[in-house]
Amino acid sequence: MTSTARALALVRALALALAVLALLAGQSVAVDRKKFRTCAQTGFCARQRDAGAQEKDAYHLLPGSQAQDGDLVRAQIAAKGTRGPLNLSFQAYKRGVLRMRIVEPPQDGIRPRYESPDILLGADKLDEEATPLRLEPAEKNAEGTFSMTSSDGRLRAIVTAAPFRVLGEDPDSGRPIVLLNGQSMLHFDQRAPGDDGTLRSEHNVGAGADQLGSGHDGAARKIVDWGEDGKPIYEDGHEDTALGGDASAAADADSNEDSADSDPGAPESFGGHTDARPHGATSVGIDVSFPGCKHLYGIPEHAAPFSLKSTRGPKSEAAFDEPYRNYNLDVFEYEIDEPMALYGHIPLAIAHSAAGTASVFWNNPSETFVDIANLDDSGDKQVHWISESGVVDVMVMAGPTPVDVFQQYASLTGTTPIPPLFSLGYHQCRWNYRDEKDIEEVNANFEKHNFPYDVIWLDIEHTDGKRYFTWDQHKFPTPTDMQDKIAHFGRKMVTIVDPHIKRDTNYHVHREAERLGYYIKDKGGNKDFKGWCWPGDSSYLDFTSPTVRQWWADQFSYKNYVGSTPNLHTWNDMNEPSVFNGPEVSMTKEARSLDGWEHREWHNLYGFYHQWATMQGLIERNTGHNERPFVLSRSFFAGSQRHGAIWTGDNAAQWSHLKIASDMLLSLNVAGLPFAGADVGGFFGNPDEELLERWYQAGAFQPFFRAHAHIDTKRREPYLFGEEVLARIRKTVSLRYSLLPFWYTLFHIHETSGLPVMRPLWSLAPQDEVTFSLGDQWLLGHDLLVKPVTDPGVSSLSVYLPVGTSWYQFEHPHKMYTGGTHITEDAPLDKIPVFVRAGAIIPRKMRLRRSSQAMRDDPFTLMIGVDPNGGSSEGSLYVDDEVTFDYRKGDSCKSAFDYDAQAAKLSGSLSCGSTARTLHIERLVFLGMARRPSKVTLDATQESLDFVFDEETHVLTVRKPVRSFIPIPFSVSLA
């Protein structure tokens, strides 16, 4: 070890010890706010936000400019004091989507604005959705106000000339749905030839390693490393303890406020980094309001309530001072109830009221702030989108039902392909399992304790010095054998593969990437951008380039990723991207893609592209490209749902973090990204047993179910807490496994129809206003209702059941509850408040096995929630090979179940595609059966089936028939 390395190790050990002490002392996590810009500290946001109160750009239509152009309607708008007209176009998609784009007319000397070709579904798919929009000349008036209707009759838009506004309405009822630019906040920083590409000033941006910094005592010190919190680590062991401690010399967090006032395109400084903004001011924005709507949802990811708080107007408990910020960042120790930016973002806002649901998608991947206001006179909700760059590209989804809106958004950005079944099981992770022996022991312990799990994970310490695609030779000398051993139990492994590449000429991935010129470039566009991350000095691949994506995908081939096997899947972390010594712990906006686009234009797409390329790699590594990949990403954007799962990053082992997880996951689900979860147990800190148990209960009913923990935390595998705790957690996890057929069917429904997996209560009861503010309880599909315990010391809790529905307690169905009221439900430590809808049929598998793979051929149990009003109960089951893409070629089966209470007959159909499958039922459980039947008969054979009726609970269980299971299709009659 060199002396620097020794010093570094010592400093690290000290830092770790301090962190552990802090955690042991029970100190809560606290975000270092000074590291992150506010709106006021961000020129484009401050200017556009202020414009709301001051003079607004009042755009008007240029008279006579509107014209039909094929399926589109085009026009031009202009405003006093701006540089000339802007091109406006409208397009309609057949499910009720109206798209409005505003761009600068092409001009010599001005580079067109950045627009990603990859966020929306490919042109072919969108073309299929296109429906002609007909200009209605009869309604033109002298000023040029006109209207247009989509030829499928789903949408009508009235474009007012002066001031320019667009009102979307229901063509039949005339109900107003959405108003664009109603508050004249449309803003477009137009450029003139000469503005573009002219470097306005030269600044030193992007610090490397071995630099000098000064702590709060002002002394110059050598920086030898950067921490995950974005703070420097000094050679002499000095620590910046005060908030905002920053190594860079000239740090004046607020200096940009002054520069912003004088010249909107001037350089801006923050936290010791200066952004030269060589292209000047390029920001865009618009307000969108929803008449009659008091509730908005979506715009994930924020650790904030599901029903969005206002950020403008009168201050109240339900208000934030700051706009929601959409700028993908690695926010160390994030806090809850905050509109601060987090790791990923989806610029989709959904408005819901008893009259209808509508939504707006702001198709812009640059830094974006979102103000939510209650309009003065009506209290209706307004969204103000404020982006640093790009164009105005707004998609309005007209609903009118929640289901319509989900489908409309899915028709634009796609859905999640049905995940391989194992990935819906339970995942066991920590930073880090030490070595192969540790992995073997953990697996053996799960076996010994008869505890189901599907995947065990390896974090960054498994690599050779944070060189991804490699293994630490001492700790993981035989990775293939290790994976084979795990696979022998029907389980998988996941390794982490981050996007920063260690700049080490002995590292083949770096050598190749450098030789081929695949790294993002620094501001001049010539040198590789360098930043500090886990491996030290690193560069970052340009995943916006299809060539680089293909090269990255190739790294996952078994030949290139030595030691990987088909049972190894992937975790993409730190892909905001996280740059420990960069502005706001990320990449300087002046960095360039290989095409020369500034990073500022597409920052929010870094993780999107990274996960996409990884997914491609996992598909292509197998001959035939037929196996479904599993890739977890921390960062994401609209469309990321097509690439896999995401999780909510570094939460904390605190009750408040458990509580906010459901709000965050609901926001993601309604914004089209269903495969999401939160670290079970909390990443930072040590949960006590009660918190851990309650977290497992919530996590088991959330789509992505993984326990994870920081490297400094105590081990917390469920078998470490004694028999009682183990038994309770095992029961929770077993419940998850028993419902895998239901989860799998929900993901199939999502893929084919765009409906979320985890849904708000208002998706089932759109008129029930009590549901509008609920983010702490949710539905799975529309048949299970979940409200986990998220407070300590609780043995009962209040649950709201929506109007017009009835429910049975899932585990103890002794009673039926009628909706439209709050009920108080017992919730001792071993019970999760989950309810089955009367009218639902839920497919399950009840045999406790070690993993999902071991359950493949098990027979099904159907849980039938009998409708007390005599209506029928319905459900479905989707089955395929659980592993490959063959389902897309028709290799899958579907069953539809129906219980006709009047006829007292339960039936199940079966329709299979290319491969016939035999599906069997071993048990039928009827909840809420009014009376004991005298006989239960399998109609096909007239076999009389055994049953047990519990007079007290009114549960009828038809058990495994004596001779054989019940094969689907079937019908069973109750007499």
Q: Which residues are catalytic?
A: 573, 576, 650
> Are 506 and 467 contacting, i.e. CB atoms less than 8 angstroms apart?
no
Near ligand NOJ by CB under 6 A: residue from 178, 391, 496, 670? 496
Considering the rule CB under 6 A, would residue 431 count as an interface residue with ligand NOJ? yes
Residue nearest to ligand NOJ (CB): 431
User: What binding mask, one character per residue, do residues 171-210 give for ligand NOJ by CB under 6 A, x or -?
Assistant: ----------------------------------------
Between 56 and 500, whose beta carbon lies closer to ligand NOJ?
500
Q: DSSP readout, 256-292? A: HHHHHHH-TTS-EEETTEEE--TT----EEEEEEETT
CB 708 within 8 A of CB 679: yes
Least CB distance from residue 301 to ligand NOJ, whole Å? 13
Q: What angle is formed at CA 703 by the lines to CA 699 and CA 704, rounded to 5 degrees?
A: 75
* Cα–Cα distance, 106 to 263 (Å, whole number): 25
* 3-state DSSP of 410-468: HHHHCCCCCCCHHHHCEEECCCCCCCHHHHHHHHHHHHHCCCCCCEEEECHHHCECCEC
Write out the binding residues for ligand NOJ, residues 628-657 only, by CB under 6 A.
634, 649-650
114/343 with CB nearer ligand NOJ: 343
* Residue 813 burial by Cβ neighbours in a 10 Å radius (0-12, 13-18, 19+): buried
Alpha carbon 785 to its chain's center = 21
Does the N-terminal peptide bond of residue 432 adopt cis geometry, omega within 30 degrees of 0? Answer: yes
Dist. CA 857–CA 854, nearest whole Å:
8
Shortest gap between Cβ of 24 and ligand NOJ (angstroms)?
19
Q: Rounded to the nearest whole angstrom, what is the least distance from the CB of residue 345 to ligand NOJ in the complex?
A: 16
Give me the helices (H) in 895-952, please.
none
Task: Name residues whose C-beta falls within 8 Å of residue 582's C-beta, 6 or more positions apart in sequence.
Answer: 206, 273, 531, 532, 588
Q: Which is nearer to ligand NOJ, 587 or 974 (CB)?
A: 587
Quote the least distance from Cβ 1 to ligand NOJ, whole Å: 23
Q: Which residues, 6+ apart, have CB-to-CB distance to 391 below 8 Å?
A: 101, 102, 103, 113, 115, 284, 364
Give yes or no for residue 99 binding ligand NOJ (CB under 6 A).
no
Which one of residues 246, 393, 573, 768 is an interface residue with ligand NOJ (CB under 6 A)? Answer: 573
User: Residue 705 Cβ, how far from ligand NOJ at the closest point, in Å?
Assistant: 15
Q: Which is nearer to ligand NOJ, 496 or 615 (CB)?
A: 496
| Closest CB to ligand NOJ among residues 387, 651 | 651
Site for ligand NOJ in 451-490 (CB under 6 A): 459-460
Query: Could you tell me which of 69, 101, 97 has the C-alpha nearest to residue 88?
Result: 101
In the complex, least distance from residue 465 CB atom to ligand NOJ, rounded to whole angstroms:
14
Is 947 in a helix, a strand, or coil?
strand
CA dihedral 32, 35, 40, 42 (to 10 degrees): -150
Count, residues in the chain: 975
> What's the closest the beta carbon of residue 493 comes to ligand NOJ, in angstroms?
16
Q: Is 576 in the site for ligand NOJ (CB under 6 A)?
A: no
Task: State in angstroms the smallest separation of the CB of 717 from ligand NOJ.
Answer: 16
What residues numbered 596-635 form the site for ligand NOJ, per CB under 6 A? 634
Site string for ligand NOJ, 884-903 (x = CB under 6 A): --------------------
When the beta carbons of 535 and 563 are compared against ligand NOJ, the nearer one is 535
Say whether the peptide bond before residue 868 is cis (omega within 30 degrees of 0). Answer: no
Asked if residues 62 and 76 have their Cβ atoms less than 8 Å apart, the reply is yes
What is the rounded end-to-end Cα distance, in angstroms, of the chain? 82
Q: How far is the CB of 232 from ligand NOJ (least distance, A)?
A: 18
Binding letters toward ligand NOJ, positions 686-725, x by CB under 6 A: ----------------------x-----------------
Write down the least CB distance from residue 611 to ligand NOJ, Å.
Answer: 14
The 372-401 site mask, x for binding ligand NOJ (CB under 6 A), equals ------------------------------
* CA 905 centroid distance within chain: 41
Instruction: Select 45 or 646, whichever has its Cβ closest to ligand NOJ.
Output: 646
Please state, as a whole number, how many other Cβ atoms lie within 10 Å of the Cβ of residue 112: 10
Q: Choose between 280 and 677: whose C-beta lies nearer to ligand NOJ.
A: 677
The answer to whether the CB of 898 falls within 8 A of the CB of 873 is yes
Instruction: Please name which of 389, 333, 9 lies closest in space to residue 188, comparing C-alpha atoms.
Output: 389
**How many of the chain's residues bind ligand NOJ (CB under 6 A)?**
10
- 257 or 461: CB nearest ligand NOJ: 461
The least distance separating ligand NOJ from the CB of residue 459, rounded to whole angstroms, comes to: 5
Residue type, 252: D
346: closest CA among 664, 720, 731?
664
Cβ closest to ligand NOJ, residue 57 vs residue 650: 650
Of 431 and 762, which CB lies nearer to ligand NOJ in the complex structure? 431
- For 450, other C-beta atoms within 10 Å of its C-beta total 13
Query: Is it true that the peptide bond before 452 is cis, omega within 30 degrees of 0?
Result: no
* List of residues contacting ligand NOJ (CB under 6 A): 431, 459-460, 496, 573, 634, 649-650, 683, 708
